[in-house]
Structure 1
Amino acid sequence: MKKKWFNIFNKGFLINQLMQLYSLILMVVLLIIMSGLSLFVFEMNQREAEVKIDNVTTEVATSLNSKDSNVVSNILGEVANTSAHYENLRNYMMMDQQSYFEYMIDIWHETGNSIYFPDVMKAILSNYGEVKSIDIVFEDLDIYLHGDKSSVMGKKITKPYHKPTDELTLVRTIQEPSTSKISGAVYITFTDDSVSSFYNENQNNKQRVSHYIFDSHDQLIYKNQQDMPKETQEVIKQDMENNSWVSEKGLNNRYYVRNKAVKGLSIVTVLDKRQVRVTSFLQIGVIFSIGIGVMILLLFFLNKVFQKYSTQMKELVKVTNQVSAGNLSAQVDPSMMQLELKDLGDAINQMVVNLNKYIEDIYLLEIKQRDAHMRALQSQINPHFLYNTLEYIRMYALSNQQTELADVVYAFSALLRNNITQEKTTTLKEELDFCEKYVYLYQMRYPDSIAYHFIVDEGLDQFVIPKFIIQPLIENYFVHGIDYERQDNAISVKAYQLEHEVEIRIIDNGLGMTQERLKDVNQRLLDDKTLLQNSIGISNVYQRIRGFFGEESKMQLEAVEDQGVTIIIKIKN
């Protein structure tokens, strides 16, 4: 199998060697990307773990500080902050129910106000949802008062009082207001939900932070441990008893550890580094699985594509070898080709067709040259015959005193001779002479209806211009602008020599054009690539002038509807 795969990459074309190179580059690049992503994921998970344990530490510290500063202090103030409150609490705990009611009545009569202490307990447990229970203990009494969600009014329980061990309980001493002597304490126990971390409950459950709270004597008063081994818990307790501090080194660097002191309490938060590593390895495994899968798919498709490419190349090489051997009927099968190889195959087929055609053309070239020579002789003979015939007609008309007919024939013959000649340029005088004969023929066709006038400044007679740049503009007037029902149709051509340019004006008094049409024609003349519908002659003349005299040459139209058109040509001299 390995040998077969190796042979696939080592067949005779350069494309197979490129396949090997591309595959190697692809694998190296993918491995580099996967390794880089793996390192990035590992580093990010470590940073996230440190950020998480810092957040949990800060959150627990903030919560603990809030509970001590706000909840505990407020509850103590409501229970025994003043002498009246203190006396009310003591009497409630020492008296029986009947005696306490008589005491409340006496207070009402004396002050007009009395507070039923069970209502105080109920209000506290109702207002502070995070409080699970309240215990009030006096040193000189054999009972203590306990209140919780099931007994919101409080109930008296015979001592001894046992402080909860697995719940967060904060203690605040009760002082007798008159002597400031400590007479008891208030024990406030909080619910687990109020102590648990938002980050533990709402983020990655695979990385949970354990936290422990120690009192001022470094004794554990609360723990929220997340699958923490007992050995580790003992090490944490031992470190706190010995050093009042827990270090990562003391836990063999297997855990992230944070320490924080709040209100005489110590908070220790711990996160197992193995959890971070397991998460990182799982993510890295996913990255490499996807990367290897992509690599296999890409190699598979590359192999298929390059194999197909090699097959097509073999077909092209075979056909070109056949053609070089003299088989001019060989053709590439287009159905086997794709993309640029199809274009190459079509080009080879067309080359063979053209080669056959060129060979055939070579055989027929001499015959075609002789035919062309004969046609050239005919084209020379026919115009001469036509000129001689027209000259005969003119002379015959003169001999019969028909001068006007002779002039018409002469003008037509001159027009025909000018059209057939091969010169590409002429002088301004010759162009206007030609135009005069053209207008003369229309004048003979419509007698007493058309007048014309041509003026050229001195020195411009021999000004060289492209042939047929004025005649199409005059013809345009006779095709589109003239009104044959009028008797005063007129057209004039004026050529002026200005300081730095020659200006030619073709002026008529014909139908003119609307301002919208005039604006559109002038705008299109500025666009070299826009042909003017119904004004192709104007566009053609303008392009020829710019091609002969340069881009600085200009043409524009001036017109008024029913009053004629003026075409202005400006040529840099």
Structure 2
Amino acid sequence: MEKTEKKSPKQLYNKLLFIYTAVIACVVLALMIYFTTSMRRRYLENNLEFLQMAHEEAVAYVENCSNAADYLHEELYNSNMELKDVLHYLSDSTEEYQKYRLDSFSQYYLLDYHGIEDFSASAFEMYPSLIRLAFVSYEKGDLTAYTGGQGVYHTDDGKETLENIRSGDLAQEGEFSFLKEVRDPNTMQSMGAMIVTFGADRFRTIRSSYELSELVVYNENGTMIYDSAGELPAEELETARGAHQLETKLKAYVQTSNPDKLNVISYLKKIEAARMPFGRWVMIFAVGVAAFFVSECLVNWYLRRVSTRLDRILDGMTKVMGGDLTARLDAPNNGDELDVIALHFNEMCEKLDLHIQKSYLAEIEQKNAEMAALQSQINPHFLYNTLEAIRMKAICNGDQEVGKMLYSMAVTFRSQLKEADVITLAQELHYSKKYMELFEYRYPKQFQSGVDCPLEYMQVPIIKFVLQPIIENYFIHGIRMRDNDNFIRIMVEKRGGDFAIIVEDNGRGMTEEEIAEKNRQLRENKMDKTKSIGIANVNRRIKAVYGSRYGLELENVKTGGLRVILTYRPQEGESDEESNDRGR
């Protein structure tokens, strides 16, 4: 026989060290990738949130400016004095306008006159973002612009402004305006216009608060008001937005809005959206490398300990292979599987001789049991053949009743000898009927029996010898020997997919407490060997074959007596032929 090569624990140590190193490297790399991806996703989510916030702030600024222009226009009409002053300013010549103001002072003795200048000054006080408030006369064609602290600008030539009004383009780089018509409330004639202009500095402030987000504002005429990046002209942006290709054109995440005929576009470059600072990369790499080296040191220390212990186990096994059953291993209390192996190894060596002896003894006992089983079959066969001989002798002598009794007895014995473990309901009911006929001969005219089973259930398989112990229990404990109206009947029902065999009698019955206790024992599959074990044995066989949910259950009958209900479900593929094959 070829000698087996002894393998050193160092071989296992090297293999495990390589495997664990590879596993640690993969785990650390996976964690680094996970944390990098997670952090980049977090940066992306934060930057997209900042983009949304920047866009909302820009849109809110435009809407606030629009609301401010509406409010100033409304306030002008709420002040009758200021409105009349503005109307005269727009329609009268300079001399006529001055005369109107002097007449108003002298006629109404007004000490606090409010005119166009006061209205403009109030507007700049209320709205610091307002950079210009201009009034244009449609009749005269002149323009007067108030610029807050920088004074008043007036020109008689407002053609350019009127042309811008007609084209609807009042914006220019760094500012945007809202046009409000000024009409005479009496005639509803449009006398001129009030142009409310706001600066774009607020957009610049918003852009500086969200550095990665770019902001573009332009009007419907394509005039650029503010562009933080200067990447594309307004015409190209509008064309791409109309074709739903703005994200592709800018290669960015885009937010667009159109408040009060101004286009507000906020975008975040995709290449910048998830970019992680260099310091984060260094931190993740440093943590990953540190985790790898710490894990490697711990694994190396642990594997060296395991290698030493495995060396001792291999030495012990080598001794046992050489026939030394006195070899023992140290089993320190490390609490791992190697301790268990050492303990089991020692137990194995201690009990090996006993196991060998028991193996020989078990083989001898098995042969003895086979002989006993063979002898146990000889006596029933001999009795069955003897009963058949006596029955034929009785029939030949003309004693038909004794012949019938012997036939019933012979059928009962044959059912126990020749049939397989699983038979049909028809066979089980036939043997039960023959068994009850024996008692009819024994107790003539004292009881009646009956069997009720639909024809379609006759071929349903069932394990044999389950009804005879129940019937026997009735004749031992239930029959009333002094009465002649005793009966016992067997019925078969189908309940869903289960079958129920009901054995009902009118015997002495049991008390409710006795039935409850007996049913408890049947459910728990217990057997009281001090009492009759026939029903308990049937219940145990049913549960063993068909499952714990099946078995026997006892009930009292209202008219007196006892009802035993046997429930089971035939197993799939089970048939009488298959059962007979198993019984051979």
- TM-score, structure 1 as length reference: 0.48
Higher RCO (C-alpha 8 Å, min separation 6): 2
TM-score by length of 2: 0.48
